[in-house]
A and B are shown apart, each in its own frame.
Chain A
Amino acid sequence: MKAALVSFVTLLAAVQLLPVSRSNPPEEGNPEAPAAIVRLLKRACYDCHSNETRWPWYSFIAPASWLVSRHVAEARRRLNFSEWGEYASDPDTASHKLGEIADQVASGKMAPWYYRAMHADARLNLAERQMLTRWARTSSAAMRSSD
């Protein structure tokens, strides 16, 4: 029993040495939005969907660090507010992204339940959900081209 515990602790200590990516690359433009919307996005979405991630303490401890790093990388690949200028160079892509934001927020799929359970900042009340959805839908329609 004692040997198993020592092995476990040794293994846990060893895995801390494995490198984990927790980078916050430079910003390349954020979406234009009213201040209240920007505040909401930064509070509830930016930790995963931007390069302004506030890395939580457990993101420095393996194996939790592996999960957090992978989650943020995947979230940034899908939608990265810090790279909004790239999306906006094709207005219909930006419009599509905004439409998806509206759908995900309105349906309560974003932020995911397991993330909301651990992060109070990511929990949106009904009024906030409606405000974000309305902004995303309006902006999406405004960006859509006639192609």
Chain B
Amino acid sequence: MLRKPTVVKALAFALGTGTILAFAAPSFADDGAMPQLRFEHGNFAPAQLSVQANKPFKVKVTNGSDAAIEFESFELHRERVVPPGETITVHMPSLAPGSYQFFDDFHHEVPKGLIVSQ
């Protein structure tokens, strides 16, 4: 039979652990949030997007301009048209640590952006 102080300690431990997990849960959810890129005024924002290495992810690309853009990356093997005012979801593979360039193939004057995997 367990002694009373042991039961109290066990209850306190369970309560403490539960509290920590309850507060920790939102930060796990934040880690899983989908990165976003927005094209507006002739630029991608942010120009550099950081993602976790070695883990597949998705990127939302929104075209806030009034002309279609083509989100393209040779290194990432991605090529998608984004009509004006629309948002698309691009599935990305897990990436080795490094920098991967993307650009708008419809407007070559647009500065190129980077996805940085780390």
Residues of A within 8 A of B (CB): 77-78, 83, 86-87, 89-93, 96-97, 147
Contacts and interface: CB of A to CB of B under 8 A. Distances in A.
15 contacts: A77-B74, A83-B77, A86-B77, A86-B93, A87-B77, A89-B77, A89-B93, A90-B78, A92-B88, A92-B90, A93-B77, A93-B79, A93-B80, A96-B81, A97-B79
A78 B72 CA distance: 10
B89 to A, nearest CB: 5
Interface in B91-105: 91-93
Nearest to A87: B77
Interface of B: 74, 77-81, 88-93
Binding site secondary structure of chain A: helix
A91 B78 CA distance: 10
A96 B79 contact: yes
A87 B81 CA distance: 14
A70 B91 CA distance: 30
A52 B78 CA distance: 22
Most chain A beta carbons < 10 A, residue from B77, B90, B93: B77
A70 to B, nearest CB: 15
